[in-house]
Amino acid sequence: MNLKSFIDTPPWEWPEDADRIFLEALRDDQADESERLLAVELAGDSTVINDELAGELLAIVSAGRNSESLRARAAISIGPALEYAYIDGFEDPDDVPISENKFHQIQETLCKLYKDTIIPKEVRRRILEAAVRAPQEWHQGAIWEAYASADESWRLTAVFCMRFVRGFNEQILEALEAGNQDIHYEAVCAAGNWEVDAAWSHIAALITSEHTDKYLLLAAIEAVAGIRPQDAAELLIDLTQSEDEDIAEAASEAMAITEALLDLEDDDVDDESRP
């Protein structure tokens, strides 16, 4: 089966042996770079990734003979499996796409690779961006170092990582004022994830402005739901009727989140008031 045919097919409709097809493509050193890049991207999908695929992706990241773009893309593809395993905590191993042993092996290898400064910058950036999906102690220092860099690409990586690692609220607020649009976007996402209340006015203004780019507006819609669910509905209600389907859907989903959060708050209040 041609790898390109997978792009236009929903993952749940992929053949049962999709993991084997991707594995063979990953191991084919003679294949065109474009084919291997596509295989690396597909192999990270949650419907197929397993210990064998994760191990092959990790091997690609580790191998200096591979191109920087291939190694970087392989690191990115490992990230979601790490995050899923970290959130689940292996309470039910059958629900996690990778085993606990493989999870720890990936963490240890990514840490070792990141600390090897001989590895190309782009690869190290993507390694850190993947690793923080399952936070560890060493990530705090790595993020601080990246954020302090004069290199904007490292600062971008740092703010992306702030989505997943606590303790950077001041830096997130600072990044909201960044002239770099990509850093600004990541700061909006991070502020929403950690419910940074001081970011409310900035992000609310993005929603009410007619000049906010769509990709940034979508991030802002998601962010306000978590920051102030009690105030978000007023901002979002009109957007649920947007002619743009993506915006209308995002606003509707955010409204549902705000309602769920407010219901939880009411339940907590009720529990506290009971004798």
**Model pLDDT, residue 262:** 80
Give me the mean pLDDT over the 46-57 stretch. Answer: 96
pLDDT of 263 > 80? The answer is no
Length reported for the chain: 275
pLDDT of 56 > 50? The answer is yes
The tens digit of pLDDT for each residue in 162-187 reads: 999 999 999 999 999 999 999 999 99
- What pTM did the predictor assign? 0.92
Spatial CB neighbours of 95, under 8 Å, sequence gap ≥ 6: 88
Total Cβ atoms within 10 A of residue 29: 9
